[in-house]
Amino acid sequence: MHILDHLKSGSPTFSFEFFPPKTPQSQELLYEAIRQLEPLNPAFVSVTYGAGGSTRELTHELVARLKTTTSLDPIPHLTCVGHTAEEIAAILKRYADVGVDNILALRGDPPRGQVDYDHAQDVFPQAKDLVAFIKSHSTNKERMPFGIGVAGFPEGHPATPNRLQEMDYLREKVDAGADYICTQLFFENRDFYDFRERCSLAGISAPIIAGIMPVASRSSLRRMAELAGGARFPARLLKALERAGDSEEAVRQAGLHYATEQCADLLDHSVAGIHFYTLNQSTATREICQRLGRM
């Protein structure tokens, strides 16, 4: 189903993100998580794409399996880095052939270890270039064009400290053909509401889906601090985790409570949708959905 059909239903969408597993053990863990999450009837699920296209085949295999063996509607990530136009066209055709209707278009990270990677050398230097190519590309005249999503950053894009310029770049992606925006994870809803309002002021009317990742452990908190250039942790969250002491279960419950309150507040403020970064696990997402009355 085209993403705009999901988003125009009148109710906020719920969706999940998975990443392609690399070992037989991680595959089984993911498919068990999918089995437990499928009954929640998410509007869609997204599947990540490794830096520099490193998980290209794994991503396609997972997307195809989700499309053909489950009721889930997969949206694969696709990045610019290191790809030719012919390669992107071939990837789009493979997705169209299995019935995929939507793509999340990202500039993407360079291959591991290439810290000085020059994005200007790519055929698609920025996400807007990839969006425009996908929008104009047709693999089957009988099919609707792909629905296209792009990333948004409520706390600010780590590579664009100029927040005014950041909005210009985001508007260019939407003007190139993006249908919706899915945000990076955040922990302070005021950042999301400010981002949403600044989008409106910049003339960006695409629906904005909020990305949520509950804190499940102290180690996951540290990992989140390193994601996408860092994440801001409000004092209210840190105090709740401090009160949990050394108990990992108490830390998990504090993280779940905070994320549930975040989601409830977003729903109260007419969010277009909530996208859970699951880390290929089902427990936290299922518990939050249950607390929100989604089960």
Which of the residues are catalytic? 17
How many angstroms separate the Cα of 107 from the Cα of each of 20, 39, 75? 19, 33, 16
- The DSSP result for 192-247, as a single string, is HHHHHHHHHHTT--S-EEEEE----SHHHHHHHHHGGG-----HHHHHHHHHTTT-
Q: What are phi and psi of 245, to 5 degrees?
A: 65, -140
Interstrand relation of 74-79 and 102-106 (parallel, antiparallel or unpaired): parallel
Q: How far apart are CA 11 and CA 271, in angstroms?
A: 9
- Rounded CA-CA distance 198/210 in Å is 15
Q: 283: Cβ–Cβ under 8 A, 6 or more apart, which residues?
A: none
User: What kind and span of H or E run contains 150?
Assistant: strand 147-152
Do strands 74-79 and 180-185 pair parallel, antiparallel, or not at all (unpaired)?
Answer: unpaired
CA distance 144 to 5: 12
76 SS3 class: strand
DSSP, residue by residue, 79-106: E-TT--HHHHHHHHHHHHHTT--EEEEE
Q: How many residues does the chain have?
A: 295
